[in-house]
Structure 1
Amino acid sequence: MAIKINNKSSKPDNIVVKENDTIEKCMQLEKELPNFMRDYFIYLRGAVATSSRYAYLNDIKFFCSYLIESDLYTRAENIKDISLEEFEGISSRDINLFIGDYCNRYYKLKANDKVLYENNNKSLSRKKSSLSTLFKFLFRNGQIENDITGGFNPIKLPKPQPDAIKRLEIDEVSIMLEAVENGTGLTDKEKDYWLKTKLRDRAILILFVTYGLRLNELRELNISSFNFSRGEFMIYRKRGKEVLMPINEACEKVIKEYLEFERPKKDKIQEEHQDALFLSLQKKRMTARSIRELVKKYTSIGMNTPRSKGYSPHKLRATAATSLIETGFSIYDVQNLMDHDNVTTTQLYAAHRKNLKRDIVENFDWLDDDKILGKK
């Protein structure tokens, strides 16, 4: 049965539907988990973003599956039947063994195949965080007597290195945009598609390198997101944030040209996709996968590499950040535009500037009186 939307919020229907889909997935996971966690489920609804809630519940289900599979901590045959008493018998050492030993490298049978799974420290840290929130809550809620989270082993995360940031150089961006403009570097087969989508693809790439949008932020854009008379558009960011962005002349031009000359007319599109800004050749909202492939294709042309070596949309986000900083904008301005929670993230892009130290010392020479004293 199709769900009808009675949307009285300021959010467009596609954002409401996306959030509802995640909530439905959360509710399904909650049905599969033990009943004694019910208070914790209610806590999560108000404490974290919907996407984080879904990730936490997935991690907890994975842990409960491990309890059943290992046959060491519970007599239950199904996750739903694990008892609070059995959970209370779990120690911090048990958690450390689960995260540090089992999660690090494990096998699963899938369609008669034995599949190897490995988790890096970032993934292990998230699993630890999910279990920490659960056990801390059960302790605060008076359901278990001890807070075992203080005994969880620390997980060292590698410090991000500026040199490891992948992005396009400014001249590579120019080559990429020339390719989408003129079809240079495309194969004959790619040119067949390009003839039908070049204005759409150009608008997508321009938005990515101008605003550093995240993939889903761009994918969820609607025609109604844009108010050209006021020179602004709305984007929907992580944790449900609604942000008004100013639109510059270049972006307005490429979007209007796409809407006028290439995008199918409204009466040719199914109702649920009529407001979607970027459409596939099937006249449906583009998928995340198709946008990734598009970006990969054009960035590979910009860098003169095989298609398999092309960059993801997130690398265009890095391109936008470093380009803005190199142009002279402060890291705080760029932090605000990029929606970085912490300015240290933005500082990584600033540190990535090539020859920054050389530029500083070459322009500050104590033996050059003209430079130090500002003489001409």
Structure 2
Amino acid sequence: MSTKIHNKSSKPDNIVARDNGIIDECEAIESALPKFMRDYFIFLKGSVAVTTRRAYLQDILFFCNYLVETDLYTNAEKASDITIDEFKEITSRDINLFIGDYCNRYYKNINDGRVLFENNNRSLSRKKSSLSTLFKFMFRNEQLPSDITGGFNPIKLQKTQPDAIKRLEIDEVAMMLDTVQNGTGLTDKEKDYWLKTRLRDKAILVLFVTYGLRLSELRELNISSFNFSRGVFVIYRKRGKEVQMPINDACEKVILDYIENERAKNDELDNENEDALFLSLQKKRMTTRSIRDLVKKYTSIAMGTSRSHGYSPHKLRATAATSMIETGFSIYDVQNLLDHDNVTTTQLYSAHRKNSKREIVKNFDWLDEDSVLGVKRND
């Protein structure tokens, strides 16, 4: 049975429904955890975004299940039966062994098969962060006698190198947009589908490479998100942040073209999907998977590679950032547009800009006997 939304906030129903779906997941995880963590659950509700809350709770449940499976400090048969007295016996060494030894590489029996899981340092760092918030809180909340987090081993994260950032070159973006415009490079089967979705696909790709939107931000767009008379549209960032974005002529044109000439009319749609901007052929809001597959298809053609090696929407976000910086926008402008928490993230995309500066200086030689200011001397 579908749930009706009684929405008094400024957020559209689909954003409210999405967030409440995540909250339901959080509450299900909390019910599987020990009751003495209830104060911590309340702390998470008011201090982090719902997606972060879910990630922390998943990591903590994973740790508690590990305690049960290994009989470490507990005789409980399930995570919810672990007691506070048993939890007090846990030391920083136990956490270090869990993160550095167990989480690094472990097996699980799934569907009558044995599956190997491996975590890189970034994943291990998140698990460490999740447990750190729990143990710090419980110490501050006078549930634990000491703060053991000071003894957690550091986890070194490799710095992302600019050359390792995958993105499309400007000529590849042009080729991708030509493909979605004309069907170039598509198989016969893909062309049959493209004929029904080319205006939608073009609008999606143009929004990605113009604004560097995250996949979730694009998927949740509604028709009501756009105010064409004011030249703006609204997106919902991480942590539920509502942001107004200016819309340029190119984006307005492709979106209106799609709405007016290809998108299903509202009288063909159910209440849940009548405001959704990007629809599947089944007249439902597109899934994240279908958008991801769409992007991989068109980017693979632009790069001349197989469909499985096409780029994800996040690579188009990197493409937008790099292209803006190459065009001359400051990293602070790009940081603001892309909603980067730290400008150092944006600086990674400025590598090509630095290379272009190097080329200018290399060819601008005051001491070259044959040229001054890069101009061939005629005397």
TM class, shorter-length = over 0.9
Query: Where do 5+ consecutive residues of structure 2 fail to align?
Result: none
Query: Where do 5+ consecutive residues of structure 1 fail to align?
Result: none
Q: Do residues 371 (structure 1) and 369 (structure 2) align?
A: no
Residue equivalent to 1:225: 225
Q: In the TM superposition, what is the alpha-carbon distance from 1:364 to its structure 2 partner?
A: 4.4
- Partners of 1:166 and 1:79 lie apart in 2 by 41
- Kept after mapping to 2: 8 A contact 1:165/1:352: no
Residue equivalent to 2:261: 261
Seen in structure 2, the aligned counterparts of structure 1 residues 9 and 180 have a Cα distance that, compared at 3 Å, is same
Residue equivalent to 1:136: 136
Q: Do residues 82 (structure 1) and 76 (structure 2) align?
A: no
- Kept after mapping to 1: 8 A contact 2:278/2:286: yes
Q: In the TM superposition, what is the alpha-carbon distance from 1:305 to its structure 2 partner?
A: 1.0
Residue equivalent to 2:306: 306
Residue equivalent to 1:349: 349
Could you tell me the TM-score, scaled by structure 1's length? Answer: 0.97
- Kept after mapping to 1: 8 A contact 2:181/2:202: yes
Residue equivalent to 1:199: 199
Look up the equivalent residue of 2:185 and give its one-letter code.
Answer: G
Residue equivalent to 1:34: 34
- Kept after mapping to 1: 8 A contact 2:365/2:372: no
- Partners of 2:228 and 2:169 lie apart in 1 by 30
Q: Deviations over 1:2-58 (max 9, x none)?
A: 321111111000000000000111111111100100000000011111100000000
- Kept after mapping to 2: 8 A contact 1:26/1:57: yes
- Partners of 2:353 and 2:110 lie apart in 1 by 46
Q: Deviations over 1:95-132 (max 9, x none)?
A: 00000000000000011100100000000000000000
Find the residue that maps to 1:77 and give its secondary structure: coil
- Partners of 1:244 and 1:150 lie apart in 2 by 42
Q: Do residues 175 (structure 1) and 171 (structure 2) align?
A: no
Structure 1 segments of 4+ aligned residues over 4 angstroms from their partners: none
- Partners of 1:298 and 1:217 lie apart in 2 by 20
Residue equivalent to 1:234: 234
- Partners of 2:226 and 2:213 lie apart in 1 by 15
Q: Do residues 126 (structure 1) and 94 (structure 2) align?
A: no
- Partners of 1:289 and 1:18 lie apart in 2 by 16
Residue equivalent to 2:337: 337
- Kept after mapping to 2: 8 A contact 1:168/1:319: yes
Residue equivalent to 2:316: 316
Residue equivalent to 1:70: 70
- Partners of 1:41 and 1:371 lie apart in 2 by 66
1:147-186 aligned at under 5 Å gives the runs 147-186=147-186
Look up the equivalent residue of 2:373 and give its one-letter code.
Answer: K
Find the residue that maps to 2:69 and give its secondary structure: helix
- Partners of 2:6 and 2:271 lie apart in 1 by 15
- Partners of 1:331 and 1:357 lie apart in 2 by 15
- Partners of 1:223 and 1:84 lie apart in 2 by 50
Residue equivalent to 1:110: 110
- Partners of 2:256 and 2:265 lie apart in 1 by 13
Find the residue that maps to 2:305 and give its secondary structure: coil
Could you tell me the TM-score, scaled by structure 2's length? Answer: 0.96
- Partners of 2:357 and 2:233 lie apart in 1 by 38
- Partners of 2:196 and 2:271 lie apart in 1 by 22
Look up the equivalent residue of 1:273 and give its one-letter code.
Answer: N
- Kept after mapping to 1: 8 A contact 2:324/2:334: yes
Look up the equivalent residue of 1:216 and give its one-letter code.
Answer: S
- Partners of 1:353 and 1:289 lie apart in 2 by 33
Look up the equivalent residue of 2:46 and give its one-letter code.
Answer: G
Find the residue that maps to 2:283 and give its secondary structure: coil
- Partners of 2:100 and 2:215 lie apart in 1 by 32
Please provide the CA RMSD for this pair.
1.6
The farther-off stretch of 356-365 and 193-202 is 356-365
- Partners of 2:363 and 2:263 lie apart in 1 by 51
Look up the equivalent residue of 1:26 and give its one-letter code.
Answer: C
Q: In the TM superposition, what is the alpha-carbon distance from 1:210 to its structure 2 partner?
A: 0.3
- Partners of 2:294 and 2:55 lie apart in 1 by 28
Residue equivalent to 2:282: 282
Look up the equivalent residue of 2:279 and give its one-letter code.
Answer: L
Find the residue that maps to 1:107 and give its secondary structure: strand
- Partners of 2:14 and 2:46 lie apart in 1 by 22
- Kept after mapping to 2: 8 A contact 1:217/1:237: yes
